[in-house]
Amino acid sequence: MTDIITGAVGLGLVWSIVTIGVWITYRILDFPDLTVEGTIVTGAATTAIMITHGVSPLLCLLISFGAGALCGLCTAFLHTRLKIPALLAGILTNIGLYSINIRIMAGTSNISLLGTRSLIDMLMTFIGRDRNVTTILVAGFGVIAVLSLCTWFLRTSYGCSIRATGSNPDMARSQGININMSKTVGLMLSNAFVGLGGSLLCQYQGYSDVQMGIGCIVIGLASLIIGEVLFGKSSTLHSLISVSLGAILYRIIIAFVIQAGMQATDLKLFTAITVALALFLPTAILQIKALRGRVTRRHDAAL
Amino acid sequence: MLLCKNISKTFYPGTANERRALSNVSLNMRRGEFVVIIGGNGSGKSTLLNVVAGAVSSDEGRVYIDKQDVTFSPEHRRAAVIGRVFQDPMLGTAASMTIEENLALANRRGKRRGLGSGVTRTERALFKEMLKPLELGLEDRLTARVGLLSGGQRQALTLLMASLRDPKVLLLDEHTAALDPKTAAKVLEISLQLVREHRLTTLMVTHNMGDALRFGDRLIMMQEGRIVFEASGAEKQSLTVPELVEKFVAVGSEVLC
């Protein structure tokens, strides 16, 4: 039982980093970015090939971060220079990345880290705790680093111009902000975090697979919405903490659902329905309110 | 200060929807001059403002601001010397950001935006001082999100943002049209105060003929993409609303007020 919880928290913390990436595009830039499904694999693939070639797992994190940023740059180029709509630009990069990710993994569709030592393996021997606890420590440290970087950056002058671009592009332009540039920087940062998340995910699960990105955007959105609804979003830092907790909670829910006997292959359907319901929630609340209003009015009229 | 030379613009050329918005419009504004533009719907007044701001590129003609040719300079670069207030109060501010963040964004217009703090302490003090004379109580709500403000408050804030960094040209595009009469009067009063205080070169579009006569050094009437009537100085001062309506009818435009 404790194993299930610690396992879920560890994996949830890894996904927190991915979710923060999704949050930057979805909430800050108002840009539905589907690149992430490819980016997370790019992060994992880069790390897998490098670790099997003896590169330090710590350096792998950094390189996957950079590789993710490049994926974001590609989508930004398609959108800002070639004027391709946001959704399509993300899908195009995502599809292209499929081939690139296989090339990164030297032509294979998956690489196992068996027989090598990831960051988590190394720290396990160092601190002498089990895999789950070590993952919590490593990923927890990563989440704190990403949270701090993000909060600081979005409060800087340049960060503010990125937020303005997402909130009101007309206003941003009339205040002298080059919105193509701020969109590009936002997309690169977002995908860099997703790449970093992919790297950690690969080191946690011990392999990289070209299919592992499928549904990643929906999982990110599910975590984001669960976090915001349950924990609030009054400020940048508050939102970031909420979505991180959302990612952890999502993993705990999934762990329990599987424990209760759901087939792993049904998970994606479960996630899709969860997200659909969560997105419907604000509308549902409005409709219920409107309905109540109508009933009360009718009641008053009858009196 | 602002010189528009032979500006022409046609939307959707070569299609059934082809519409000539501006034809050969020229306008020369002195430093500190306040010009009011009136005209019916589709007369080209908003297009003219958009061409000056760089939001719409003209087919022909040149735009100079302070003797510099800005015809091909993109909107965000031109924004360094232009202050702008839109008709829609929602357009001028970022709803999800705080009052001080919005003001700070405007205060960096034309400056490099780096990794320094988004709002500095000196800025905060400056904004407080600037907001006080508006008498809207905004000076105590610097960290409130702009989305919580009313349309009038947002428009007043946009005005303040537009006048920050002393723009060479201030563009007011029917900026009181979407407000209720009382709020509109207040926002207009704030506009005039700022224009006078900073001696801003101002181009204001309005639908209200009374306002058009009361304010500004020069009045321009537009019709079908052309300037059809101009009055300034003593001639403008002696004009009355009925006379102006008569001019409108004479050029074949619908009467709006």
Per-residue pLDDT, B257: 44
Contact B76 A170 (CB under 8 A): no
pLDDT digits (tens, 9 = 90+) for A149-208: 999 999 999 999 999 999 999 999 999 999 999 999 999 999 999 999 999 999 999 999
* Residue in A150, A160, A182, A234 to test binding to B, most B beta-carbons within 10 Å: A160
pLDDT confidence band for A300 (50 / 70 / 90): low
Residues A176 and A295 in one domain: no
Residues A241 and A295 in one domain: no
Q: Which residues of A52-85 are buried (b: 16+ CB within 10 A; e: fewer)?
A: beeeebeebbebbbebbbebbbbbbbbbbeeebe
Query: Which of B90, B104, B110 faces A176 most closely, judged by CB atoms?
Result: B110
The Cα B159–Cα B173 span in angstroms is 11
| Chain B neighbors of A172, CB-CB under 8 A | 76, 94, 105
| Chain B neighbors of A155, CB-CB under 8 A | 117-118
| Chain A contact for B96 (CB, 8 A cutoff) | yes
Task: Judge contact between B64 and A137, C-beta under 8 A.
Answer: no
CATH number at residue A114: 1.10.3470
% pLDDT > 90, chain A:
74
Contact B75 A174 (CB under 8 A): yes
Contact B115 A174 (CB under 8 A): no
Q: How many helices, marked H, and strands, marked E, lie in chain B?
A: 9, 10
| Chain A contact for B77 (CB, 8 A cutoff) | yes
Residue B206: which of B226, B190, B186, B220 has the closest Cα? B220
Task: Say which range, A43-47, B236-240, B248-252, has the weakest mean pLDDT.
Answer: B248-252
Distance of CA B133 to the CA centre of its chain: 21
Give the pLDDT mean for A10-39.
Answer: 96
Q: How far is A198 from chain B (nearest CA, A)?
A: 27
Residues A147 and A272 in one domain: no
Q: Is A117 left (phi over 0), alpha (psi -120 to 50) or beta?
A: beta
Number of domains comprising chain A: 2
Task: Tell me: pLDDT of A21 over 90.
Answer: yes
Residues A204 and A302 in one domain: no
User: Range of A146's domain?
Assistant: 2-261
Look up tokens 């998956």; give the residue: A110
Task: Judge contact between A32 and A89, C-beta under 8 A.
Answer: no
pLDDT confidence band for A302 (50 / 70 / 90): low
Residues A254 and A272 in one domain: no
Per-residue pLDDT, B47: 92
> What average pLDDT does the structure give for chain B?
89
| Chain B neighbors of A30, CB-CB under 8 A | none
pLDDT confidence band for B255 (50 / 70 / 90): low
Identity at A240, one-letter amino acid code: L
| Chain B neighbors of A174, CB-CB under 8 A | 53, 55, 75, 79, 82, 84, 86, 92
Per-residue pLDDT, A128: 80
Residues A197 and A300 in one domain: no
Contact B113 A153 (CB under 8 A): no
Contact B105 A164 (CB under 8 A): yes
Residues A237 and A286 in one domain: no
Give the pLDDT mean for B202-219.
Answer: 89
Query: Which of B76, B97, B161 faces A177 most closely, judged by CB atoms?
Result: B76
Task: Judge contact between A33 and A26, C-beta under 8 A.
Answer: yes
% pLDDT > 70, chain A:
97
Residues pairing with B221 in the sheet: B38, B229
Task: Tell me: pLDDT of B40 over 70.
Answer: yes
Residues A84 and A138 in one domain: yes
Other beta carbons within 10 angstroms of residue B38's beta carbon come to 27
A-B interface: how many C-beta pairs under 8 angstroms? Answer: 89
Q: Which CATH superfamily is domain B2-250 in?
A: P-loop containing nucleotide triphosphate hydrolases (3.40.50.300)
pLDDT digits (tens, 9 = 90+) for A223-232: 999 899 889 8
| Chain A contact for B117 (CB, 8 A cutoff) | yes
Contact A170 B117 (CB under 8 A): no
Task: Tell me: pLDDT of B252 over 60.
Answer: yes
Contact A170 B91 (CB under 8 A): yes
pLDDT digits (tens, 9 = 90+) for B79-123: 999 999 998 989 999 999 999 999 999 999 988 898 988 899 999
pLDDT digits (tens, 9 = 90+) for B41-54: 888 898 999 999 99
Task: Judge contact between A120 and A138, C-beta under 8 A.
Answer: yes
Residues A178 and A284 in one domain: no
pLDDT digits (tens, 9 = 90+) for A76-106: 999 999 999 999 999 999 999 999 999 999 9
Contact A160 B93 (CB under 8 A): no
pLDDT confidence band for A234 (50 / 70 / 90): confident
Instruction: Tell me whether strands B34-39 and B218-223 are parallel, antiparallel or unpaired.
Output: parallel
Look up tokens 């919105």; give the residue: A179
Give the pLDDT mean for B3-7.
Answer: 91
Task: Tell me: pLDDT of A29 over 70.
Answer: yes
Reported ipTM: the value is: 0.88
Contact B55 A177 (CB under 8 A): no
Distances (CA, A) of A241 to A187, A248, B45, B230: 20, 11, 48, 60
The Cα B129–Cα B127 span in angstroms is 5
Contact A160 B113 (CB under 8 A): yes
Residues A196 and A279 in one domain: no
| Chain A neighbors of B77, CB-CB under 8 A | 176, 178
The Cα A223–Cα A139 span in angstroms is 16
Strand ranges of the sheet holding B226-232, from the earlier edge strand across to the other edge: B82-85, B169-173, B202-205, B34-39, B218-223, B226-232
Residues A18 and A49 in one domain: yes
* Residue in B70, B73, B76 to test binding to A, most A beta-carbons within 10 Å: B76
Find the closest chain B residue to A29 by CA distance: B96
Q: How many CA within 13 A on the CB side of residue A247?
A: 27
Other beta carbons within 10 angstroms of residue B91's beta carbon come to 18
Look up tokens 């005209």; give the residue: B39
